[in-house]
């Protein structure tokens, strides 16, 4: 996965961190004594990736000492161009790595559990794949291993696109749990670790490495324990170490600018932190220059430091103190006076005048 706001150096670190998260998953599985691992879709960002990406990902999966089951989903569907059917995948796949290419039940090695996948065969399925997978399931014999449904997609209830036929109907999923057709439903798609419904048996694990600012609880994997009496316990484990942060500041003077600097200074692990800032308020030219200086300085420390232009409403208006120690004469003085008048008038031309004043201030200093 690429992030457009990362520099080439930061993107390289982020790409490496994604593979490190895979290895961290393997470590958690080993330490917790897991019997197998399921990854609920979007293992790859696209079916059209450089060969090296596929090879490195599969090499990272060699760290797993238990079976790993991958589910094709909307980013990497099981279509004619699927990575899972590519020569690169076939030639480099570790023996313990499998993909769930159908909804036929798969018995995990050692008969500890049965898996039922709901793979995507296109980017736009025409039905609820969870419902389709559950419909085809047969009743199990008494004492059979627990059954886990592995699926991907958005839940219909509360979703923005109620006309999407691929939405997962919560009532159907919970009915499958109530009838003991399945014991647990592992979901992918939502990047924040989230329990769905009230059963405690439907969960989004979330992304193992944060990808955007709006993810509430990323960087996790879930360890799920199904006891002999079919009770389920779910524990979250942190496997990613990056952070994406948004912060809004009211800035109306030098003290507020210092507060921005203090907030940035206090953040740990700057090289793995991405920050998006927005500002509201009014500064004079001296204060704005100080703000720009500290942003320029911190841009070299963080993985990325952005200003959220759409949410920023910062007026920069000069006062007499700004040019108190600067001597401007002739055309330069006239330019200063004209720009101050236009800046105070507001509007698009006022914004342009503010920018010009800031440049004039820097040059004059």
Domains in the chain (CATH in brackets) are 8-238 (3.60.21.10), 242-316 (no CATH), 317-365 (no CATH)
Instruction: From residue 21, give the alpha-carbon distance in Å to each of 26, 61, 153, 196, 220.
Output: 9, 10, 22, 24, 9
Are 164 and 244 within 8 A, CB to CB?
Answer: no
Q: What's the pLDDT at 112? A: 93
Segment 121-140 mean pLDDT: 91
Are 56 and 19 within 8 A, CB to CB?
Answer: yes
Q: What's the pLDDT at 316? A: 83
Q: What's the pLDDT at 285? A: 87
- 223 falls in which pLDDT band (50, 70, 90)? very high
Q: Where are the beta strands (DSSP E) in 96-205?
A: 97-99, 106-107, 114-117, 147-152, 184-188, 194-195, 202-204
CB neighbour burial string for 58-76, b if at least 16 within 10 angstroms, e if fewer: bebbbbbebbbbbbbbbbb
Q: What's the pLDDT at 159? A: 66
Instruction: Say yes or no to pLDDT of 195 above 90.
Output: yes
- 16 falls in which pLDDT band (50, 70, 90)? very high
What is the Cα–Cα distance from 97 to 116, expressed in whole angstroms?
Answer: 16
Segment 172-200 mean pLDDT: 95
Element (H, E) at 279: strand 273-283
Dihedral sign for Cα 132, 134, 139, 143, please. Answer: positive
Residues 6+ apart with CB under 8 A from 14: 1, 3, 6, 242, 303
Segment 308-317 mean pLDDT: 88
> Mind spelling out the 3-state secondary structure of 187-212?
EECCCCCEECCCCCCEEECCCCCCCC
Rounded to the nearest 5 degrees, what angle is found at the Cα of 87, between the Cα atoms of 63 and 117? 65
What is the Cα–Cα distance from 355 to 118, expressed in whole angstroms?
Answer: 55
Are 222 and 207 within 8 A, CB to CB?
Answer: no
Are 236 and 28 within 8 A, CB to CB?
Answer: no
Structure tokens at 276: 């998006």
Structure tokens at 336: 């200063």
Residues 6+ apart with CB under 8 A from 122: 77, 79
Residue 337's CB: how many other CB atoms inside 10 A? 11
Instruction: Say yes or no to pLDDT of 325 above 80.
Output: no
What is the Cα–Cα distance from 292 to 131, expressed in whole angstroms?
Answer: 54
**Beta strand 202-204 with 194-195: parallel, antiparallel or unpaired?**
antiparallel
What pTM was estimated for this model as a whole?
Answer: 0.88
Beta bridge partners of 305: 275
- 333 falls in which pLDDT band (50, 70, 90)? confident
Q: Which has the closest alpha carbon to 148: 188, 197, 108?
A: 108
């Amino acid at each position: 996965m690429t992030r457009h706001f990362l520099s080439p150096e930061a993107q390289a670190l982020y790409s490496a961190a994604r593979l490190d998260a895979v290895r961290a998953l393997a470590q958690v599985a080993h330490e917790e004594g897991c019997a197998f691992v399921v990854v609920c879709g979007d293992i790859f960002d696209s079916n059209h990736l450089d060969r090296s990406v596929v090879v490195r990902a599969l090499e990272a999966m060699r760290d797993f000492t238990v079976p790993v089951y991958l589910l094709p989903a909307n980013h990497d569907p099981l279509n004619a161009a699927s990575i899972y059917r590519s020569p690169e995948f076939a030639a480099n796949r570790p023996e313990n790595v499998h993909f769930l290419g159908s909804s036929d039940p798969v018995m995990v090695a050692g008969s500890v559990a049965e898996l039922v996948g709901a793979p995507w065969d296109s980017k736009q399925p025409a039905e609820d794949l969870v419902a389709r997978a559950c419909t085809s399931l047969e009743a199990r014999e008494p004492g059979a291993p627990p059954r886990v449904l592995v699926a991907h997609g958005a839940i219909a209830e509360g979703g923005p696109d109620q006309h999407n036929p691929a939405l997962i109907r919560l009532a159907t999923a919970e009915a499958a749990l109530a009838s003991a057709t399945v014991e647990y439903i592992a979901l992918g798609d939502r990047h924040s670790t989230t329990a769905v419904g009230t059963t405690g048996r439907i969960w989004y694990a979330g992304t193992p490495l944060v990808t955007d600012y709006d993810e509430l609880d990323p960087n996790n994997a879930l360890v799920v324990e199904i006891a002999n009496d079919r009770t389920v316990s779910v524990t979250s484990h942190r496997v990613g170490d990056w952070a994406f942060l948004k912060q809004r500041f009211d800035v109306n003077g030098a003290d507020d600018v210092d507060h921005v600097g203090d907030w940035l200074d206090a953040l740990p692990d700057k090289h793995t932190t991405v920050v998006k800032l927005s500002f509201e308020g009014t500064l004079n030219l001296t204060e704005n220059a100080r703000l720009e200086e500290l942003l320029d300085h911190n841009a070299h420390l963080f993985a990325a430091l952005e200003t959220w232009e759409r949410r920023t409403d910062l007026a920069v208006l000069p006062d007499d103190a700004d040019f108190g120690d600067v001597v401007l004469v002739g055309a330069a003085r006239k330019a200063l006076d004209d720009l101050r008048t236009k800046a105070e008038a507001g509007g698009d031309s006022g914004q342009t005048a503010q920018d010009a004043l800031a440049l004039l201030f820097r040059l004059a200093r």
